[in-house]
């Protein structure tokens, strides 16, 4: 079944909103429960991985379930989506990220928009974001290349779950999610001053993934 652009944009909005709601909400829940840092990390990682699996599974047939400007940009460079549709996708993703933060804030009795003061733009965290986004984007485009799109939901969900534990940044790996998380005072938030550096290295990670994809896909001489 073909879906029109408005349907696809709604899917991108809902999917991205769901990610931010889950991550911010899990942070609020961990705080409310008095969870220590280890338990909180596990809760947040499980919430992120699970909502990605579910969201991609149900919305991929509608929009492709990018939910991530880095993915959309790279697919645009691969001519998998037009520039016009790509810009619309990114806009829907950013609005979804912002709305997801509002939803989490309101669920847990916080102000509907709250500035976050968590500084994250350290050298180690920025490298962590390059690595997390690189792996995510490479996974997606290789699975598309190999006609294994049925594995994307599980692959992305488990990658982000794992990257919460092995990256210093806890794997934002998504410019729209990063943007959204600046508007919540959940422990998973990020200060506005750290948003642009994070987004910059996330896009870089996506472009490095594209370069790796080109090398891996090149025909042997």
**CA-based angle 49:153:4, to the nearest 5?**
120
- Copy the structure tokens of residue 109: 């009795």
**Short-list 28, 217, 187, 38, CA closest to 116:** 187
Distance spanning both ends of the chain, measured CA to CA = 40
Backbone angles phi, psi at 100, to 5 degrees: -65, -35
Q: Which residues contact 87 (CB under 8 A, 6 or more apart)?
A: none
Distances (CA, A) of 86 to 26, 29, 172: 30, 34, 21
- What CA–CA distance (Å, rounded) separates 49 from 47? 6
Residues whose CB is less than 8 angstroms from the CB of residue 70 and which lie 6 or more positions away in sequence, other chains included: 133, 136, 137, 173, 174, 175, 202, 203, 205, 206
What pLDDT was estimated at residue 207? 98
pLDDT at 218: 85
CB contact burial 111-134 (16+ within 10 A = b; e otherwise): eeebebeeebbeeebbebbbbbbb
Assign residue 218 a region (left: φ > 0; alpha: ψ between -120 and 50; beta: otherwise).
beta
pTM above 0.85, yes or no: yes
| One pLDDT digit (tens) per residue for the chain, 221 residues | 689 999 999 999 999 999 999 999 999 999 999 999 999 999 999 999 999 999 999 999 999 999 999 999 999 999 999 999 999 999 999 999 999 999 999 999 999 999 899 999 999 999 999 999 999 999 999 999 999 999 999 999 999 999 999 999 999 999 999 999 999 999 999 999 999 999 999 999 999 999 999 999 987 66
The CATH number of the domain holding residue 202 is: 1.20.1080.10
Q: What is the rounded CA–CA span in Å between residue 206 and residue 37?
A: 29
H helices of 34-68, in order, are: 37-63
Give the torsion through C-alpha atoms of 94, 96, 97, 99, to 10 deg. 120
**What integer pLDDT is reported at residue 1 of this predicted model?**
66
174: domain range? Answer: 5-217
What total number of domains does the chain contain? 1
């Amino acid at each position: 079944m073909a879906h029109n652009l408005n349907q696809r944009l709604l899917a991108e909005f809902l999917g991205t909103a769901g990610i931010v709601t889950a991550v911010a909400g899990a942070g609020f829940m961990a705080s409310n429960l008095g969870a220590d840092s280890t338990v909180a990390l596990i809760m947040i990682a499980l919430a992120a991985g699970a909502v990605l699996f579910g969201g991609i599974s149900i919305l991929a047939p509608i929009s492709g379930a990018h939910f991530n400007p880095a993915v959309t940009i790279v697919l645009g460079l691969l001519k998998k989506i037009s520039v016009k549709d790509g810009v619309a996708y990114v806009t829907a993703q950013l609005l979804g990220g912002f709305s997801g933060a509002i939803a989490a804030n309101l669920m847990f009795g916080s102000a509907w928009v709250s500035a976050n003061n968590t500084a994250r733009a350290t050298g180690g965290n920025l490298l962590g974001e390059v690595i997390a986004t690189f792996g995510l984007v490479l996974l997606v485009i290789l699975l598309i290349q190999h006609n294994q799109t049925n594995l994307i939901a599980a692959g992305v969900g488990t990658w982000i779950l794992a990257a919460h534990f092995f990256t210093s940044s806890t794997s934002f790996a998504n410019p729209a999610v990063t943007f959204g998380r600046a508007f919540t005072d959940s422990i998973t938030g990020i200060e506005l001053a750290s948003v642009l550096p994070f987004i910059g290295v996330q896009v870089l990670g996506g472009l490095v993934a594209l370069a790796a994809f080109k090398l891996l896909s090149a025909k042997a001489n």
